[in-house]
């Protein structure tokens, strides 16, 4: 038997489809919930009279993994326009920075546009491609904190050189790799070491031949290297041949600079202050061009921990940073200022931040101390999962270390620097310095500082540490004397750009 078929007229079909689409678009969490959440987060972080939410459009949603209690979770995407109701400078070290602002809005570093390196004015607009995540509690959807994955840049494909001479060199290298050896692992290690040394030597000789201004940055993907790359791009665009070297960081940068292998280097200020030639003595073979951005010392404990101050860490298991790292040096200084010697700890761990957070979540340690730009993505992700909270440093510890001459400066992490952080966190910070030898020509200094403070759009390029570079903080945390040309630059610098 065949059931009769009912034909729906075309106009009625269109109405039905439109209704279904509208229903899908308005499915909870709806645009009103997203709007209320964004407005509440902005008000909590900046006060009710900083931003006006000019428009918000809900784009769609997607499922997230259930939380630890088995509750369904969703992420809702939106586009929004915010209008500044007052002047605000995200480069100021006392304000919430651009990275924390993006995290607050559920955006990546590339998802917020309209912020200006020199600060924003009342009436400026910010365009946000953001998101809000929710967990279901019964019949209601409750906003939760999440941190989006970092935006990655695909590596350029490796292609062999095309000239005949280069092809011959490439073939000879391949012969070395294909050579039969009694110890293949050691063979590859020797080849890699020698090629690395040869590459460095060849690069230095070619740079001297072409009079290239060389800048030692840091590890690939790190904040130091990101700032170095952007500064070099600006110098190159202005006609000055420059090159940013990938390095292991501050210690190697100091060695390269003292050895005359580079012209400029990014260096942690306290390492510049405790010179390699003699402990505790400022290195008179180096000068500073400017202080760039802060790197706060961050003390982390498990969410809900009974530990409330540094003195509580006596007898506890603490991750203090990898051996020979600046982070470890700062951890020791901080603990000693609080009256806690290393031997008074229950156990000392030296595995670094990433492993430290894993161990903290697993209950294998009680605290992590790390020196890193804030908000650090690993810490933000742990905070969003509800695993960590930050401890404030007491005013007396701040004062003791500030006057100790170790290069540490007092700093406060504003509320909302990390997900779930409702109160300001007192701490100390080192600063990243741009350093050179005293004989660097004044013309080079002027070109570099002009590019640094007048031509490099670190915010637009997505450099969160670079977004905190400004003339107002260029002398903060200096542990070396300024290059004479830098002193002249800041004394006669033009007024800040206006829009």
**For 144-163, what is the mean pLDDT?**
55
Residue 362 falls inside a structural domain = yes
What is the model's pTM?
0.77
Same domain for 402 and 320: yes
- Say if residues 108 and 469 touch (Cβ distance below 8 Å): no
Residue 18 falls inside a structural domain = no
Domain of residue 43, residue span: 24-144
Residue 276 falls inside a structural domain = yes
Last residue of a domain, one of 381, 396, 431: 431
Same domain for 334 and 419: yes
List all residues 6 or more positions away from 12 whose beta carbon is below 8 Å from its beta carbon: none
Same domain for 269 and 356: no
Task: Kindly tell me the sign of the dihedral angle through the C-alpha atoms of 19, 24, 27, 31.
Answer: negative
Same domain for 442 and 402: no
Residue 226 falls inside a structural domain = yes
Vertex 258 angle, CA 479 and 291, to 5°? 30
Last residue of a domain, one of 415, 431, 447: 431
CATH number at residue 385: 3.40.190.10
Range with top average pLDDT, 116-125, 154-163, 209-218, 404-413:
116-125
Same domain for 365 and 303: yes
- φ/ψ of 326, rounded to 5, equals -65, -30
- What is the structure's pLDDT at 251? 84
What is the rounded (10 degree) CA torsion for 357, 360, 362, 366? 170
Element (DSSP H or E) covering residue 110: none
> Which of 66-75, 168-177, 189-198, 349-358 has the weakest average pLDDT?
168-177
Task: Kindly tell me the sign of the dihedral angle through the C-alpha atoms of 151, 157, 161, 162.
Answer: negative
Share of the chain above pLDDT 70, in %: 82
- What is the structure's pLDDT at 299? 98
Rounded distance between C-alpha atoms, residue 148 and residue 145, angstroms: 10
User: In the chain, helix, strand, coil percent, each to 5?
Assistant: 35, 20, 40
Q: How confident is the model at residue 172 (pLDDT cuts 50, 70, 90)?
A: low
**468 pLDDT more than 70:** yes
User: How many residues are present in the chain?
Assistant: 499
Angstrom CA distances, 149 to 65, 185, 298, 467, stand at 15, 35, 22, 20
Nearest to 469 by CA among 266, 230, 236, 294: 294
Angstrom CA distances, 465 to 198, 393, 473, 480, stand at 32, 23, 13, 21
**For 409-429, what is the mean pLDDT?**
95
Rounded distance between C-alpha atoms, residue 306 and residue 94, angstroms: 28
Copy the structure tokens of residue 413. Answer: 């992490």
Same domain for 403 and 361: yes
Vertex 281 angle, CA 475 and 433, to 5°? 30
Q: How confident is the model at residue 456 (pLDDT cuts 50, 70, 90)?
A: confident
Same domain for 122 and 187: no
pLDDT 10s digits, 120-141: 999 999 999 999 999 998 889 9
Rounded distance between C-alpha atoms, residue 224 and residue 167, angstroms: 34
**For 261-288, what is the mean pLDDT?**
75
Q: How confident is the model at residue 198 (pLDDT cuts 50, 70, 90)?
A: low
**For 403-417, what is the mean pLDDT?**
89
Same domain for 350 and 268: no
- What is the structure's pLDDT at 270? 87
Specify the pairing of strand 425-436 against strand 264-268: antiparallel
Residue 457 falls inside a structural domain = yes
**For 242-271, what is the mean pLDDT?**
91
**34 pLDDT more than 60:** yes
**17 pLDDT more than 60:** no
Same domain for 425 and 311: yes
- What is the structure's pLDDT at 494? 55
Q: How confident is the model at residue 41 (pLDDT cuts 50, 70, 90)?
A: very high
Last residue of a domain, one of 411, 431, 451: 431
Same domain for 369 and 282: no
**27 pLDDT more than 90:** no
Residue that the structure tokens 């070491």 belong to: 193
**291 pLDDT more than 90:** yes
Q: Provide the number of structural domains found in the chain.
A: 3
Coil, strand, or helix at residue 97?
coil
**484 pLDDT more than 50:** yes
pLDDT 10s digits, 297-354: 999 999 999 999 999 999 999 999 988 777 888 999 999 999 999 999 999 999 999 9
Nearest to 410 by CA among 96, 93, 101, 92: 93
- What is the structure's pLDDT at 196? 66
Same domain for 38 and 58: yes
> Which of 57-66, 174-183, 231-240, 262-271 has the weakest average pLDDT?
174-183
Task: Give the DSSP letter of residue 88.
Answer: B
- What is the structure's pLDDT at 199? 60
- Cis omega (within 30 of 0) on the bond before 431? no
Same domain for 121 and 32: yes
Q: How confident is the model at residue 293 (pLDDT cuts 50, 70, 90)?
A: very high
- What is the structure's pLDDT at 208? 47
Residue 497 falls inside a structural domain = no
**276 pLDDT more than 50:** no
pLDDT 10s digits, 85-116: 999 999 999 999 999 999 999 998 789 999 99
Task: Give the DSSP letter of residue 443.
Answer: H
Residue 498 falls inside a structural domain = no
- The mean of the pLDDT values for the chain is 84
Residue 353 falls inside a structural domain = yes
- What is the structure's pLDDT at 200? 56
């Amino acid at each position: 038997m065949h059931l009769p078929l009912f034909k729906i007229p075309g106009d009625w079909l269109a109405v039905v489809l439109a209704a279904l689409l509208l229903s899908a678009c308005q499915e909870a969490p709806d645009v009103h919930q997203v709007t209320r959440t964004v407005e509440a987060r902005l008000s909590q972080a900046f006060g009710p009279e900083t931003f006006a939410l000019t428009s918000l459009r809900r784009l769609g949603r997607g499922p997230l993994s259930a939380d630890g209690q088995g509750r369904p979770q969703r992420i809702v995407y939106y586009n929004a326009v915010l209008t500044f109701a007052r002047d605000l400078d995200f480069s100021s070290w006392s304000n919430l920075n651009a990275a924390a602002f993006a995290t607050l809005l559920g955006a990546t570093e590339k998802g917020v546009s309209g912020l200006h390196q020199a600060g924003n004015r009342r009436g400026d607009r910010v365009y946000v491609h953001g998101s809000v995540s929710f967990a279901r509690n019964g019949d209601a959807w409750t906003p939760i904190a999440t941190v989006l994955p970092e935006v990655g840049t695909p590596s350029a494909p490796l292609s062999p050189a095309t000239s005949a001479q280069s092809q011959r060199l490439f073939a000879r290298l391949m012969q070395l790799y294909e050579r039969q050896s009694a110890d293949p692992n050691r063979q590859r290690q020797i080849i890699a070491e020698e090629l690395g040394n040869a590459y460095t030597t060849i690069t230095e000789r070619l740079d001297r031949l072409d009079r290239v201004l060389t800048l030692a940055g840091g590890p690939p993907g790190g904040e130091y290297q990101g700032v170095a790359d952007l500064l070099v791009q600006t110098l190159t665009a202005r006609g000055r041949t420059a090159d940013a070297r990938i390095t292991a960081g501050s210690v190697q940068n100091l060695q390269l600079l003292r050895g005359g292998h580079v012209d400029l280097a990014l260096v942690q200020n306290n390492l510049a202050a405790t010179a390699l030639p003699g402990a505790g003595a400022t290195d008179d073979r180096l000068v500073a061009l400017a202080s760039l951005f802060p790197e706060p010392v961050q003390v982390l404990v498990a969410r809900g921990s009974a530990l409330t101050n540094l003195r509580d860490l006596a007898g506890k298991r603490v991750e203090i940073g990898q051996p020979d790292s600046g982070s470890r040096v700062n951890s020791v200084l901080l603990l000693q200022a609080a009256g806690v010697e290393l031997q008074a700890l229950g156990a000392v761990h030296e595995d670094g931040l990433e492993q430290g957070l894993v161990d903290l979540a697993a209950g294998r340690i009680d605290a992590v101390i790390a020196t890193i730009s804030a908000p650090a993505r690993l810490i933000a992700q742990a905070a969003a999962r509800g695993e960590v909270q930050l401890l404030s440093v007491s005013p007396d510890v701040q004062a003791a270390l500030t006057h100790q001459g170790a290069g540490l400066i007092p700093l406060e992490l504003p509320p909302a620097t990390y997900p779930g952080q409702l109160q300001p966190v007192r701490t100390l910070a080192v600063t990243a310095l741009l350093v050179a030898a005293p004989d660097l020509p004044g013309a080079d200094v002027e070109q570099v500082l002009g590019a640094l403070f007048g031509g490099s759009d670190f915010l637009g390029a997505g450099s969160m540490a670079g977004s905190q570079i400004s003339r107002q903080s260029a002398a903060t945390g200096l542990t070396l004397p300024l290059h004479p040309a830098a002193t002249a630059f800041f004394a006669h610098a033009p007024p800040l750009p206006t829009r």
